[in-house]
């Protein structure tokens, strides 16, 4: 890692990484909410929604989640480790 | 009979001054100006009175005083200490070692003369 | 018959291939050519043992029965993987830093290396895994039967016998590959590689069947979707509670399953692999579940009514006459089943041997046997028997349950069983307040409820659980009905069991934890687990006596093998700065050793072994910790205290030094004052005495009068000089003097000084080498002259020679000027040379005039000028050397 970039730039990188980690934390919560959403769905007639529609929805969400996770993990990997985040210690 | 005084002192000007005063008063003044053989000088000259400085080359006045007092022949010999070291502890020390009288420099000629006369009086 | 024989042949060939792959991988790892074995791809593929025969066969059956509900089993793990930052990252870090060998080891280590807890977790895990292993055996046996049935004129299938053969075969394979290394942390490269291959095979097989079904049997995507819409699972009819409950259950089980823990944590090579797996593994299970619904729908559509939907993956190609595809499909299912059984058996056998067999054996044999017998041999044997035991237990469950249950239902029983570990595990790594008592109580309560409401009823009514109990509750107590605890009627049995077991588990765990008090070791471990990212190193628990190193080495050799143990000990000895193989049994070393051993036999056992040898240390550690009390905080606190007390000691030392200095200074000041007093009183005595003589004496001769007056005059001068010197010295010592830099040659300065010295007092001959004095000086020439004059007049005054001669020699030595003043007297005695520069030091007989400050002043001046003045011994007479830098600036003040 070059030491050339100004400290502002490095700060910015570390900042970005922290936010990406935040995003990585939010992703599963978002995924859980979206996966559990069909429980609340009913068609106007009171019947369950068509399986084919739900398959489209669930696999679509699934795909988006994996793509999101892949993007985040490669982003997090591409930036040098910042100090271990203190929030980890709560509990 | 003239009394004999032995002056043990290293400062030439003071030797001259004391000798002058005491000689004029009719005393026989002998001088000795170093510490090493001061006790031998006392024994040899057999004075009636010793005037002793403390800061002497070779040996200090306290040691000389102790030796004088330790010698049975000299135990009663009057010793007048005349010193520039006028601190209270020096006076205490001198007393403990058996000094007869203790005077500090600078002195008044009259007082020294009076003290000497007093001490050699029969 | 040909197909069945072919099938057996293919199976054997496939197993041979697996052997070859595993063997090759082990060899490669042995020769260090294992870089690609440790890639994140292999790690991700090894995680796919989550997808067992349940997935391969059962998911289709599940979908055929309950529509999209099968997805919950994959959505849970997907969420856990995507949320790796929360839990998996921490579990892997803890697993690596504590050399954890299994989930039982993790939980027991966290709660003070408790053997009891390890035993409980192991027992629950073994019981909980039984249905799962049974599921695999059943699916493989059924798939054989499916082929047998498809044979024209085939014999009646004997599912039980097939299952037994499969069980035995798997047990042998696992024993062969799972127990080659003793150290569970010397990862099972071969096994992991074989599993990765099987992961590829099963995904490929399922995708192939899916593609064949969608584009072969059905008329493409549109046609398939139409079939779905027309089927009896066309509508979302999943109950909300099952959807939410099963998703959560699968997520929990994903973390708690012993085999998942094995591949995810124990076999993990690199924490970064987790990052890749966080998206790659969800992708894998998404792909594997993609064609489930189409296969189920087409199967329901095409195959005769009453066909087992769990076997659609196999029977559809068979029905269509695609024997090749069917064999591929069979291999996929075979892969799914075998990989699960192998890893589960390895994981459980590690737990069984480390936490049950070894502790019992250790207790029974004691230290002597441990030293003489081969521990390694015993551990390996224990592990092999455990593998066979675990597989046969699965077979027993299969036989008992009648082999008729749906695969998914059996799997869920397992899931709910191992999910009981979750509160103790998560509480352990996130909550420092979690205690051993809490974990034990929670686990017991949860496991008992699971056993009562799910495990026993899973065998079907009246086999292990009388129908009366099912209908009217235990002892006729209405509120104890297994499917309606506390009168909660009308719930789905799975959701019911999971809800009650976990709720009461968590409640008990938290309550007991809050009201119990952890042991010191527990608190220590708790702090290390919870704060694993803050301090990955471990804290002190051991203190060993001398002379135990040899015993420890003997023990370690038995467990780790001779060469690795000797290397380990030698490395430790070298770190301690010792030669040979035996390090001091320091706390650090013992801890390291314990961790190393725990990689082979588990934390609790390693602890017990080391404590048997080091003896008594456990107690003393407990005592020590009890005194230190609040573990981590206390240690931090005591560090602070130590730092403080060191600071205090430092301060005290400084004070003492300052005091000594002050005392010394006060002594110096006293003697200085008394010296000053003496020096002042002496001339004043003459002054007073002679002035009184002049005043009081009559008839003095004029000669006398003049002489006495001149004495008075001289003494007055002496007094003045003394005061001048004192003032000069004080100013120099306080550094208040300003030096004026001037430029001139040494020659001119010396000329001036000798001129001033000539004519005063007695005659002094001065010899110089003027040519050598042509040196330009940049310094305070007046001060330098003061030094020279002092030295010249000293020579004149104190030289004891008849005709005093002073030789002044100057020389240039690189960047310094050396000026030596040597007289022809007898010199200064050695013992007095060191004091001549002190104030009031006077050597020998004192002539009137010298106050003993001259040389002290010279020394101060030379210091200010950046040079020095020293007594030069070994010359014929008294000699002083003045040293001065040629062009250095005057030391600034």
Residue C510: its pLDDT value, please? Answer: 92
Nearest CA in chain B to C680: B84
Domain definitions of chain B by residue range: 4-115
Kindly determine whether residue C684 and residue B16, on different chains, have CB atoms separated by under 8 Å: no
Nearest CA in chain A to C248: A32
| Other Cβ atoms within 10 Å of C892 Cβ, number | 8
Residue C843: its pLDDT value, please? Answer: 57
Residue C820: helix, strand or coil by DSSP?
strand
What is the mean predicted confidence (pLDDT) over C418-445? 89
Nearest CA in chain A to C242: A39
Query: Does C345 touch chain A if contact means CB atoms closer than 8 Å?
Result: no
Q: Is the model more confident about C565 or about C438?
A: C438
For residue C845, list chain B residues with Cβ-Cβ distance below 8 A: 10, 34, 57
DSSP string covering C263-286, please?
IIIIT---HHHHHHHHHHHHHHHH
Q: Least CB-CB distance to A89: which of C67, C275, C531?
A: C531
B57 band by pLDDT with thresholds 50, 70 and 90: confident
- Whole-number mean pLDDT of chain C? 79
DSSP string covering C767-787, please?
EE-GGGG--EEEE-HHHHHHH
Angstroms from C701 CA to nearest CA on chain B: 13
Edge-first strand listing for the sheet containing B79-83: B28-32, B4-8, B49-52, B79-83, B101-104
Q: CB within 8 A of C126, min separation 6: which ones?
A: C348, C351, C352, C390, C393
Q: CB within 8 A of C687, min separation 6: which ones?
A: B106, C712, C715, C716, C719
For residue A52, list chain C residues with Cβ-Cβ distance below 8 A: 225, 228-229, 234
pTM above 0.95? no
For residue C846, list chain B residues with Cβ-Cβ distance below 8 A: 10, 57
CA angle C856, C861, C864 (to 5 degrees): 130
The burial of C389, by beta-carbon neighbours within 10 Å (0-12 exposed, 13-18 middle, 19 or more buried), is given as: middle
Residue C617: its pLDDT value, please? Answer: 39
Nearest CA in chain C to B107: C685
Residue A89: its pLDDT value, please? Answer: 36
Q: CA C274 to CA C429: how far, in whole Å? A: 18
Nearest CA in chain B to C710: B13
Neighbour-count burial for C572-591, b at 16+ CB within 10 Å, e otherwise: bbeeeeeeebbbbbbbbbbb
Which 83-142 residues of chain C touch chain A by CB within 8 A?
83, 85-86, 90
Torsion (CA) C275, C278, C280, C281 in degrees, nearest 10: 130
Nearest CA in chain C to B55: C678
Interface confidence, given as ipTM, is 0.92
Q: In this complex, which chains have at least 3 CB pairs below 8 Å with chain C? A: A, B
Which 45-74 residues of chain C touch chain A by CB within 8 A?
67-68, 71
Q: Where are the alpha helices (DSSP H) in C320-357?
A: 323-352
Q: CB within 8 A of C666, min separation 6: which ones?
A: none
Kindly determine whether residue C685 and residue B55, on different chains, have CB atoms separated by under 8 Å: no
CA separation, residue B61 to residues A25, B35, B66, C297 (Å): 94, 7, 9, 129
Examine the pLDDT at B51 and tell me if it is beyond 90.
Answer: yes
Kindly determine whether residue B106 and residue C846, on different chains, have CB atoms separated by under 8 Å: no
Interface test with B, best of C685, C843, C847, C849 (most B CBs within 10 A): C685
Angstroms from C851 CA to nearest CA on chain B: 13
What is the mean predicted confidence (pLDDT) over C212-233? 83
Residue A82: helix, strand or coil by DSSP?
coil
For residue C237, list chain A residues with Cβ-Cβ distance below 8 A: 48
CA atoms within 13 A on the CB side of C663: 6
Tell me which residue of C738, C707, C726, C887 sits closest to C814, measured CA to CA.
C887
Nearest CA in chain B to C674: B85
Kindly determine whether residue B14 and residue C686, on different chains, have CB atoms separated by under 8 Å: yes
Examine the pLDDT at C445 and tell me if it is beyond 90.
Answer: yes
Q: Least CB-CB distance to C290: which of A27, A31, A59?
A: A59
C791 band by pLDDT with thresholds 50, 70 and 90: confident
Angstroms from C793 CA to nearest CA on chain B: 20
CA separation, residue C187 to residues C58, C210, C377, C387, C723 (Å): 31, 35, 19, 17, 91
For residue A63, list chain C residues with Cβ-Cβ distance below 8 A: 286
Residue B4: helix, strand or coil by DSSP?
strand
Q: Is the model more confident about C791 or about C269?
A: C791
Kindly determine whether residue B87 and residue C689, on different chains, have CB atoms separated by under 8 Å: no
For residue C282, list chain A residues with Cβ-Cβ distance below 8 A: 62, 65-66, 69
Kindly determine whether residue C678 and residue B17, on different chains, have CB atoms separated by under 8 Å: no
For residue C79, list chain A residues with Cβ-Cβ distance below 8 A: 28, 31-32, 35
Is the CB of residue C416 less than 8 Å from the CB of residue C426? no
Report residue B25: phi and psi, to 5°: -85, 5
Residue B7: its pLDDT value, please? Answer: 93
Query: Does C684 touch chain B if contact means CB atoms closer than 8 Å?
Result: yes
For residue C244, list chain A residues with Cβ-Cβ distance below 8 A: 36, 39
Q: CB within 8 A of B120, min separation 6: which ones?
A: B3, B5, B27, B48, B49, B78
Which 514-533 residues of chain C touch chain A by CB within 8 A?
530-531, 533
CA atoms within 13 A on the CB side of C138: 29
The CATH code that applies to domain C2-419 is 1.20.1730.10
CA separation, residue B70 to residues B4, B54, B93, B120, C257 (Å): 21, 18, 16, 21, 104
The CATH code that applies to domain B4-115 is 3.40.50.2300
Examine the pLDDT at C98 and tell me if it is beyond 70.
Answer: yes
Q: Tell me the pLDDT tens digit for each residue of C310-364.
A: 888 888 888 888 888 888 888 888 888 888 888 888 888 888 888 888 778 777 7
Q: Which CATH class is domain C633-732?
A: mainly alpha
Q: Which element (helix H / strand E) includes C515?
A: helix C493-515
Measured over the CA atoms of residue B92, residue B95, residue B99 and residue B104, the dihedral's sign is positive
Examine the pLDDT at B52 and tell me if it is beyond 50.
Answer: yes
Query: Does C287 touch chain A if contact means CB atoms closer than 8 Å?
Result: no
Q: CA C259 to CA C195: how far, in whole Å? A: 12
Is the CB of residue C76 less than 8 Å from the CB of residue C248? yes
Q: CA C382 to CA C395: how far, in whole Å? A: 20
Q: Which CATH class is domain C737-885?
A: alpha beta
For residue B21, list chain C residues with Cβ-Cβ distance below 8 A: 689, 693
Report residue C765: phi and psi, to 5°: -90, 135
Q: Tell me the pLDDT tens digit for each residue of C128-173.
A: 888 888 888 888 888 888 777 766 655 555 777 778 888 888 888 8
pLDDT along chain A (91 residues), means of 10: 45 73 85 84 70 86 91 74 41 33
Is the CB of residue C57 less than 8 Å from the CB of residue C333? yes
Share of chain C above pLDDT 70, in %: 81
Q: CA C822 to CA B1: how far, in whole Å? A: 55
Beta strands B28-32 and B4-8 are: parallel
For residue C430, list chain A residues with Cβ-Cβ distance below 8 A: 91
Do C and A have ≥3 inter-chain CB pairs under 8 A? Answer: yes
Q: Least CB-CB distance to B20: which of C685, C693, C714?
A: C693
Kindly determine whether residue C689 and residue B55, on different chains, have CB atoms separated by under 8 Å: no
Identify any residues that bridge with C481 across adjacent strands, giving them in sequence order: C484
Q: Among C48-57, C294-303, C417-426, C625-634, where is mean pLDDT lowest?
A: C625-634
Interface test with C, best of A24, A73, A81 (most C CBs within 10 A): A73
Q: Tell me the pLDDT tens digit for each residue of C262-290.
A: 888 888 877 888 888 888 999 999 999 88
Interface test with C, best of B56, B84, B89, B91 (most C CBs within 10 A): B84
Q: CA C287 to CA C271: how far, in whole Å? A: 25
Kindly determine whether residue C690 and residue B11, on different chains, have CB atoms separated by under 8 Å: no
| Chain centroid offset of residue C74 CA | 35
The beta strand positions in C327-435, using DSSP E, are: none
Q: CA C423 to CA A79: how far, in whole Å? A: 34
CA angle C624, C510, C485 (to 5 degrees): 145
Query: Does C706 touch chain B if contact means CB atoms closer than 8 Å?
Result: no
Examine the pLDDT at C12 and tell me if it is beyond 90.
Answer: no
Residue B29: helix, strand or coil by DSSP?
strand
Query: How many interchain CB pairs under 8 A, A with C?
Result: 111
Q: Tell me the pLDDT tens digit for each residue of C656-706.
A: 877 877 777 777 677 777 777 777 888 889 899 999 988 888 888 888 889
Examine the pLDDT at C124 and tell me if it is beyond 60.
Answer: yes
Kindly determine whether residue A28 and residue C80, on different chains, have CB atoms separated by under 8 Å: yes
Query: How many interchain CB pairs under 8 A, B with C?
Result: 67
Residue B101: helix, strand or coil by DSSP?
strand
């Amino acid at each position: 890692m070059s030491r050339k970039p100004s400290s502002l730039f490095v700060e910015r990188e570390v900042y970005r990484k922290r936010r990406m980690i935040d995003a990585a934390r939010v992703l599963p919560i978002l995924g859980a909410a979206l996966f559990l959403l069909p429980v609340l769905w009913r068609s106007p007639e009171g019947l369950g929604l068509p399986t084919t529609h739900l398959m489209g929805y669930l696999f679509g969400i699934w795909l988006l989640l994996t793509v999101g996770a892949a993007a985040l993990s490669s982003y997090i990997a591409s930036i040098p480790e910042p100090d271990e985040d203190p929030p980890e210690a709560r509990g | 009979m003239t009394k004999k005084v032995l002056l043990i002192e290293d400062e030439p000007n003071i030797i001259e001054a004391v000798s002058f005063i005491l000689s004029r008063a009719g005393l026989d003044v002998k001088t000795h100006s170093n510490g090493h053989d001061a006790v031998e000088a006392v024994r040899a000259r057999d004075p009636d009175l010793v005037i002793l400085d403390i800061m002497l080359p070779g040996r200090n006045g306290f040691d000389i005083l102790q030796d004088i007092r330790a010698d049975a022949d000299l135990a009663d010999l009057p010793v007048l200490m005349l010193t520039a070291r006028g601190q209270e502890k020096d006076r205490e020390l001198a007393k403990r070692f058996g000094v007869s009288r203790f005077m500090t420099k600078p002195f008044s000629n009259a007082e020294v003369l009076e003290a000497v006369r007093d001490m050699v009086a029969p | 018959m040909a197909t069945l024989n072919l099938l057996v042949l293919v199976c054997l060939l496939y197993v041979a291939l697996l052997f070859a792959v595993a063997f090759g991988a082990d060899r490669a790892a042995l020769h260090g050519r294992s870089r690609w074995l440790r890639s994140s791809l292999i790690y991700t593929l090894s995680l796919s043992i989550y997808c067992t025969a349940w997935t391969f066969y059962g998911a289709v059956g599940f979908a055929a029965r309950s529509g999209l509900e099968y997805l919950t089993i994959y959505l849970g793990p997907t969420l856990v993987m995507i949320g790796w930052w929360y839990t998996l990252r921490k579990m892997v870090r803890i697993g690596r830093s504590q050399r954890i060998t299994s989930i039982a080891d993790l939980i027991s280590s966290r709660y003070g290396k408790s053997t009891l807890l390890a035993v409980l977790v192991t027992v629950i895990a073994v019981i909980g895994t039984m249905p799962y292993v049974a599921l695999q055996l059943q699916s493989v046996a059924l798939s054989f039967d499916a082929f047998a049935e498809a044979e024209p004129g085939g014999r009646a299938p004997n599912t039980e016998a097939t299952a037994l053969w499969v069980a035995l075969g798997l047990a042998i394979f696992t024993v062969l590959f799972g127990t080659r290394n003793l150290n569970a942390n010397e990862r099972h490269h071969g096994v992991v590689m074989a599993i990765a291959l099987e992961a590829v095979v099963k995904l490929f097989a399922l995708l192939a069947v899916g593609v064949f079904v969608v584009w072969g049997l059905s008329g493409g995507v549109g046609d398939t979707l139409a079939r779905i819409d027309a089927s009896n699972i066309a509508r979302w009819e999943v109950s909300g509670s099952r959807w939410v409950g099963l998703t959560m259950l699968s997520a929990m089980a994903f973390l708690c399953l012993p085999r998942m823990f094995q591949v995810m944590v124990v076999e993990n090579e690199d924490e970064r692999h987790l990052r890749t797996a966080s998206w790659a593994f969800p992708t894998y299970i998404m792909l594997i579940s993609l064609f489930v619904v189409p296969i189920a729908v087409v199967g329901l559509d095409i195959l005769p009514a009453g066909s087992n939907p769990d076997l659609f993956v196999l029977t559809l190609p068979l029905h269509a006459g695609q024997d090749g595809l069917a064999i591929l499909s069979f291999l996929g299912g075979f892969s799914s089943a075998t990989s699960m059984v192998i890893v589960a058996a390895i994981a459980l056998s590690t737990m069984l041997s480390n936490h049950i067999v070894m502790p019992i054996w250790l207790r029974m044999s004691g230290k002597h046997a441990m030293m003489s017998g081969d521990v390694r041999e015993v551990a390996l044997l224990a592990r092999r028997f455990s593998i066979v035991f675990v597989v046969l237990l699965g077979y027993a469950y299969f036989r008992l349950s009648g082999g008729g249950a749906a695969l998914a239902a059996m799997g869920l029983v397992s899931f709910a069983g191992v999910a009981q570990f979750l509160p103790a595990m998560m509480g352990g790594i996130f909550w420092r307040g979690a205690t051993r008592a809490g974990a034990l109580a929670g686990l017991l309560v949860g496991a008992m409820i699971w056993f009562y409401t799910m495990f026993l009823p899973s065998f079907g009514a009246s086999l292990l659980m009388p129908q009366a109990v099912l209908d009217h509750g235990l002892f006729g107590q209405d509120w104890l009905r297994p499917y309606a605890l506390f009168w909660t009627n009308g719930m789905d049995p799975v959701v019911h069991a999971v809800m009650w077991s976990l709720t009461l588990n968590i409640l008990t765990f938290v309550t007991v934890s809050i009201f119990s008090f952890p042991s010191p070791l527990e608190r220590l471990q708790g702090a290390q687990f919870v704060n694993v990212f803050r301090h990955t190193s471990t804290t002190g628990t051991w203190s060993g006596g001398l002379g135990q190193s040899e015993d420890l080495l003997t023990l370690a050799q038995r467990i780790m093998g001779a060469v690795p143990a000797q290397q380990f000990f030698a490395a430790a000895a070298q770190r301690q700065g010792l030669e040979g193989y035996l390090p001091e049994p320091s706390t650090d070393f013992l801890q390291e050793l314990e961790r190393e051993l725990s990689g082979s036999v588990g934390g609790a056992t390693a602890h017990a072994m080391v404590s048997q040898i080091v003896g008594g240390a456990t107690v003393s550690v407990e005592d020590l910790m009890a005194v230190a009390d609040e573990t981590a905080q206390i240690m931090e606190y005591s560090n602070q205290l130590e730092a403080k007390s060191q600071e205090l000691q430092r301060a005290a030392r400084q004070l003492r030094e300052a005091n000594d200095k002050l005392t010394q200074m006060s002594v110096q000041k006293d003697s200085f004052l008394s010296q000053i007093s003496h020096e002042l009183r002496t001339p004043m005595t003459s002054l007073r005495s002679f002035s009184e003589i002049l005043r009081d004496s009559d008839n003095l001769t004029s000669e006398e009068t003049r002489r006495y007056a001149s004495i008075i005059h001289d003494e007055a001068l002496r007094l003045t000089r003394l005061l001048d010197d004192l003032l000069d010295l004080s100013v120099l010592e306080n550094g208040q003097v300003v030096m004026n830099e001037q430029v001139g040659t040494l020659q001119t300065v010396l000329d001036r000084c000798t001129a001033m010295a000539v004519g005063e007092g007695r005659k002094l001959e001065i010899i110089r080498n003027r040519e050598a004095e042509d040196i330009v000086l940049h310094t305070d020439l007046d001060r330098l002259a003061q030094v020279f004059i002092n030295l010249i007049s000293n020579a004149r005054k104190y030289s004891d020679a008849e005709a005093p001669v002073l030789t002044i020699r100057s020389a240039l030595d690189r960047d310094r000027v050396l000026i030596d003043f040597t007289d022809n007297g007898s010199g200064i005695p050695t013992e007095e040379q060191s004091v001549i520069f002190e104030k009031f030091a006077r050597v020998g007989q004192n002539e009137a005039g010298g106050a003993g400050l001259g040389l002290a002043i010279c020394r101060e001046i030379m210091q200010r000028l950046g040079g020095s003045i020293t007594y030069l011994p070994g010359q014929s007479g008294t000699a002083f050397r003045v040293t001065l830098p040629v062009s250095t600036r005057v030391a600034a003040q």
